[in-house]
Structure 1
Amino acid sequence: MAIRNPVDLKADLPRGRRLLGIDLGTKTIGLALSDALLMGATPLSTIKRTKFTKDAEELFKVIDAREVGGLVLGLPVEMSGEEGKRAQSTRQFAANILAIRDMPLCFWDERLSTAAVERVMIEDFDMSRKKRAEKIDSHAAAFILQGVLDVIGRG
């Protein structure tokens, strides 16, 4: 399946299936899950990165267990709007995933997502640095996924 525009993603999603938001880091992969109505995103878990094969295996376990029908992958665009090495690496990760399993996927500009989530964790929830470190990646994935869900909801 081709990489989709967020607006077109809903049409390609099998009925009743959820979206999985992914914040792909160099050390961890943050995951978030949509509800079946595609209205809200909830932080789910974090996968500790090792090798691609093992990372993909863990990712597909979540996809199968949670009835996921499509993926939203945060794209780390630089502040200038340019795509650097991290964005290229993310695009390659997506291509490798789609080579294993054909499913709808879209990218979402993740600029400042981690910073925004961290600010909320500090200002609104007064979370310690240790607690933030444990939760930041899955919450950033939820932030990314919610952006796509908001676009889908508008039409």
Structure 2
Amino acid sequence: MGRILAVDYGHKRVGLALSDPLNIVATPLDTLQVNGEDGLVQSLENLIEKWQVNQLLIGYPLGLKGVKTKQTLEVERFVEVLKKRISLPVTLWDERFTSAEAKDILRQKGVRPSENKGLVDQMSARIILQEYLDYGLKR
């Protein structure tokens, strides 16, 4: 069983989280600064190799009513780029409210989200991944 890499995609930053080898626990991994799509995909390829990842989980930003937004379409386009370069299964996972939840968690730890946007992105990716892992364990 390999690890799952969760991606919280954004225009400026991409939050990442990684599962343990047994796919039970999600841990924040890093925040990548977006400096062009090719560089971002290359960074993901490097992490996939380094951590022996066998699946990508991409946060899917639907609107509050479950409808597609401009950001949803941007994520869909990015996923198509990924699928052309990375030969791993890619799963989309509803990420509604993860940023708000991540900010709440950081505030409880005494961290100011407005001053630590990279941590918000990492925590959002961790929440997305943990929800996915928990869903799989319940089935």
Compute the TM-score of the two structures, normalised by the length of structure 1: 0.85
Q: Secondary structure at the match of 2:93?
A: strand
Aligned to 1:84: 69
Aligned to 1:127: 111
Judge conservation of contact 2:113–2:120 (CA < 8 Å) in 1. no
Picking from 78, 93, 97, the partner of 1:112 is 97
Aligned to 2:79: 94
CA RMSD of superposed structures (Å): 1.2
Deviation of 1:130 after TM superposition, in Å, equals 5.8
Alpha carbons of structure 1 residues 129 and 90: separation in structure 2 relative to 1, 3 Å: closer
Picking from 45, 67, 70, the partner of 2:55 is 70
The structure 1 segments of at least 4 consecutive aligned residues displaced by more than 6 Å after TM superposition are none
Where do 5+ consecutive residues of structure 1 fail to align?
Answer: 1-15
Judge conservation of contact 2:113–2:119 (CA < 8 Å) in 1. no
Identical pairs, percent = 28
Q: Secondary structure at the match of 1:103?
A: coil
Where do 5+ consecutive residues of structure 2 fail to align?
Answer: none
Q: What do the CA deviations read for 1:113-153 (whole angstroms, capped 9, x no partner)?
A: 0110101111x211134653231111110000111101111
